[in-house]
Chains A and B, each alone.
Chain A
Amino acid sequence: MSKLGIRRAVAALGVALLAVLVVAGCGGGGGSSSGGAATTFNPNEAANLTVWSWAPQTAPAAKAYMKLHPNVNIKVVNAGIETAEYTKIRASLEAGRGGPDVALMSFPNVEEFAVTGSLLDLSKFGADEMKADIAPWCIELLSSEDGQLYGLPTDAGVMGFIYRPELLAEAGVKPPKTWAEFETAAAKLHAAEPSSYLANFPLGQFPWLQAMMWQAGSKPFHVEGSKIAIHLDDAPALKVAEYWDGLLEKHLVKAEAAFTTPYYAAIDRGEYAGWVAPQWGPVLIKESSPTYGKWRAARLPQWSTSEQSEPLWSSSSYVAFDDSSAPAAAADFVKFITHDKTNVEHLSEETPYAFYPLKSLYESKAWLDQKLPFYGPQKANAVFAEAAKHVDGSFASSPFEDYVVTQGNQLVGEAVDGNGSLVDAMKELQERVVKYAEEQGFTVES
């Protein structure tokens, strides 16, 4: 092309770029909210719902719902697990379109979307009738201060101490009831069998450490509109950090990346006599493991003998979005998938080793007596049902859990690798999160 032609082409390109910048500079598009639409579900109205969920149980539940309500069409899409899905939701909210009507969301992440006003208040759509049948701490964890219910729970990560009785008996150790007993038991076990550990300290799983601090009574966040109180390094949190610092220093627990092939291999070899685990933990152990059937469940060790407190690790809920084209239908589907007895019973049969927070289920004899091959003859559900009575529902999450967890993982990892203690890590985390909250426009209160 001649020089003139090249110049013209470059000029045309420049104009195109400028146009893009100008159009872009005129601000992003805003989503249109469907506020004011009917809040009672009308089954005779046609509705199209898009549900984003990574759980395999969502699609069959959607099918069952469509059978009951032929005018509602549901498309279930797997938009990625957790962060991957939340990133897409954020992008769709910013673009004003392309997002789902209903989504599966972990408890701690609901806060972020509730704060930005993107979620439906399900209590306006008849969810209040169900509150009596749902574990009260779930309601507390999914509600705002002024009683707005932003999600309905589908499964809760109740925790316990899972152990190998014959390995403990060999070392003359009993399953510990308090954390003090845990330390003694870990020492005794490790002395008797140096290649064996009472439990692992899972790396790359900051929510596990958050759960431990939750149990001790830590209250890291309190959000009120655009004001936030951050206390990641409060006394209970530091107490827990110091405790695990001690165990790691004395090599009584093994710090290892969780849920990886080497970890499962270690379990198979009997290197771990116990596991500070969530109820859904056994789902990840293959049935072909030589340890299958040899585990028993016990309550999580407690900090005091008089009071009991329980945390959660990884619980999921369904939420409905404010910009849905059919909010009543969306809310109705959320109610169905989390509350319909047949559906939840079916879920608990298909996927045992989970806590479904429906009173009519977890208080039923059938569920308490459920056969769980991982635990051999033990009816382990009863242990977790007992634990569920003591879950502290006042533990609030931040509106930016992704950031907190990523920083937490980094700082805990550095501490465990020899660069300081967990106590220092929590103090550093506090500083970083405060800075981040201020960057995000929050007023941080002390």
Chain B
Amino acid sequence: MSTAAPRPVELRRPAPTRRRPFARLPVTVTLLAPFVAMFVVFYVVPIVWSFRTSLFANRLIGGQTFQGLDAYSRALHDPDFLHGFSNVGILCLIQVPISLGIALALALILDRGVRGGGVYRLLIFVPYAVPTVIGGLMWGFMYDPKIGPVGQITEALGLGTANLLSQQWMLFSIGNILTWGGTGIAMVILYTALKAIPRDLEQAAAVDGANRWTVMRTIKIPLLLPSIGLVLLLAVIATLQLFNEPSVLASLAPQVIGQDYTPNLYAYNVAFHGSQVDYAAALAFVLAGIVLIVSYGGIAIARWRVRK
């Protein structure tokens, strides 16, 4: 018997089917239809309608008149609107990196393997599950110098009664609430991405003599960069649109949180207290435009750096 090398198994290619390009169209359409219908009705139509609203000024005297893009040029020159951006901008530049840094550190620690890691992951995630309004109210009461523990603790430590709802501290206080609520979800995303890194990479590095920190620096974090980028993008988008926390704290500290504390809050007040729905629509579009520019800008920069 000849001991020839075994013949490679021929993978039988399936016989090419006749080209029927729309054969599966009915099935596709039926499965997609519910989503597309809801998407169009609740997403696309309101956006188009809002744009249409922003083109027509609605006045108490004179009714509805076409104003074209006037509302947009007004929005771009509105100092109250731009003031809101300075607040969310500070949060984006300071709070977001801190929150992500904490999330990354926690994800790396938990990935190393901690006894009872599941419990910790759950506890870190729970604040994200608390509705933002309730979280905001809760923290608001804790911050209040008269009835909250923070003031009492600083008093006991001899630092005077800290008022975390005052002008100097408000951004920090809001940032604290955002970190408390948002770190959990970021950590879960990063942890999941870490778990997807093949173990043999680590082992190979260990064989090559790398210690834990080197592994983290050269393997884990570089492979995590897409996930970090994703989480960063989501956090920036959410922070630029900040509304819930300032809105809830406004009742406790109305002298600090004015109607223009964040761009979204300003648009809301213009619409519902100023009855200028057309201007509010324009503000919303400008805000969306800025968010788009920032997020696409971020993605473009990331792609450019990866390509380098």
Chain A residues at the B interface, C-beta cutoff of 8 Å: 1-2, 4-5, 13, 16-17, 20-21, 24-25, 27-28, 83, 87, 90, 94, 112, 115-116, 203-204, 226, 255, 257, 260-262, 265-266, 399-400, 402-403, 405-407, 409-410, 412-414, 416-418, 436, 439-442
A24:B40 contact, CB within 8 angstroms: no
B256:A413 contact, CB within 8 angstroms: yes
B52:A440 contact, CB within 8 angstroms: no
Instruction: Determine if B2 is an interface residue (Cβ-Cβ < 8 Å).
Output: no
A13-B40, A266-B146 given; A413·B254 CB < 8 A? yes
A403:B144 contact, CB within 8 angstroms: no
Report the bound CA distance from A405 to B269 in whole Å: 11
Q: Report the minimum CB–CB distance from A95 to chain B (whole Å).
A: 12
Instruction: Determine if B8 is an interface residue (Cβ-Cβ < 8 Å).
Output: no
Contacts of A410 in B (CB 8 A): 258-260
B274:A409 contact, CB within 8 angstroms: no
**B interface residues, tally (CB under 8 Å):** 37
Contacts of A116 in B (CB 8 A): 60
Q: Report the minimum CB–CB distance from B150 to chain A (whole Å).
A: 13
A203:B254 contact, CB within 8 angstroms: yes
A-B contact pairs, 14 of them (CB 8 A): A2-B22, A13-B44, A17-B44, A20-B48, A94-B58, A257-B252, A260-B252, A262-B146, A400-B60, A402-B274, A403-B273, A418-B167, A441-B60, A441-B62
B255:A414 contact, CB within 8 angstroms: yes
Contacts of A439 in B (CB 8 A): 59, 276
Instruction: Determine if B45 is an interface residue (Cβ-Cβ < 8 Å).
Output: yes
Chain B residues at the A interface, C-beta cutoff of 8 Å: 21-22, 25, 28, 40, 44-45, 48-49, 52, 58-62, 64, 141, 144, 146-147, 167, 250-256, 258-260, 269, 272-276
In the complex, besides A24-B49, A90-B275, A266-B146, 5 extra interface pairs with C-beta distance below 8 angstroms are: A260-B252, A400-B274, A406-B259, A409-B258, A410-B258
B254:A409 contact, CB within 8 angstroms: yes
Contacts of B274 in A (CB 8 A): 400, 402-403, 406, 436
**Nearest CB to that of B64 among chain A residues?**
A28
Report the bound CA distance from A29 to B133 in whole Å: 37
A83:B272 contact, CB within 8 angstroms: yes
Contacts of B58 in A (CB 8 A): 94
Report the bound CA distance from A406 to B147 in whole Å: 27
Report the bound CA distance from A17 to B47 in whole Å: 10
Report the bound CA distance from A260 to B137 in whole Å: 12
Contacts of A413 in B (CB 8 A): 254-256, 258
A402:B64 contact, CB within 8 angstroms: no
**Nearest CB to that of A266 among chain B residues?**
B146
**Nearest CB to that of B279 among chain A residues?**
A439
B49:A5 contact, CB within 8 angstroms: no
B255:A115 contact, CB within 8 angstroms: no
**Nearest CB to that of A259 among chain B residues?**
B251
Q: Report the minimum CB–CB distance from A56 to chain B (whole Å).
A: 22
Contacts of B250 in A (CB 8 A): 204
Q: Report the minimum CB–CB distance from A284 to chain B (whole Å).
A: 14
Q: Report the minimum CB–CB distance from B165 to chain A (whole Å).
A: 9
